[in-house]
């Protein structure tokens, strides 16, 4: 039996070498890595939250469930995230630029 992958892209397909390429039309990456469905099924250490605020612009971004569950399963998985208003990626974590919508809790902590 083959080993289950720890990570996939958001649609469950294998991680590709070019997934970080930026689409100039949206500023988003071609694909985003998430913890695999199997890894996420092991449980969450934070609530599953879909939306965050970028403190530099005040803009709200809502993510898909696979990304939201990856943050909930491993809050330190990502070093940065996308702001759909700035159309760019910025850091998360203690020194990061994002808080979960409706809280003062930093994304990535
Ligand atoms: Zn922004």
pLDDT tens for 83-106 read: 999 999 999 999 999 999 999 999
pLDDT digits (tens, 9 = 90+) for 40-74: 999 999 999 999 999 999 999 999 999 999 999 99
Give first-to-last CA distance, the chain, whole Å. 36
CB 37 within 8 A of CB 70: no
pTM, full prediction: 0.94
Whole-number Å distance, alpha carbon 43 to ligand 1 midpoint, is 30
Report pLDDT for 3. 77
pLDDT at 1 over 90: no
- CB-based burial label for 25 (10 Å; 0-12, 13-18, 19+): exposed
Whole-number Å distance, alpha carbon 65 to ligand 1 midpoint, is 21
Cα–Cα distance measured from residue 67 to residue 49, given in angstroms and rounded to the nearest whole number: 9
pLDDT digits (tens, 9 = 90+) for 18-39: 999 999 999 999 999 999 999 9
Q: What percentage of the chain exceeds 90 in pLDDT? A: 96
Whole-number Å distance, alpha carbon 83 to ligand 1 midpoint, is 5
Pairing of strands 60-62, 80-83: unpaired
Report pLDDT for 2. 64
């Amino acid at each position: 039996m083959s080993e289950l992958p720890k990570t996939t892209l958001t649609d469950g397909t294998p991680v590709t070498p070019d997934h970080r390429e930026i689409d100039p039309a949206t500023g988003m990456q071609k694909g985003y890595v998430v913890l695999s469905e199997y890894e996420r099924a092991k449980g969450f250490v934070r609530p599953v939250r879909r939306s965050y605020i970028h403190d530099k612009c005040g803009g709200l971004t809502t993510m898909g469930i696979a990304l939201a569950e990856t943050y909930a399963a491993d809050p330190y998985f990502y070093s940065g995230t996308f702001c759909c208003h700035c159309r760019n990626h910025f850091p998360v974590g203690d020194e990061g630029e994002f808080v979960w919508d409706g809280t003062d809790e930093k994304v990535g902590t």
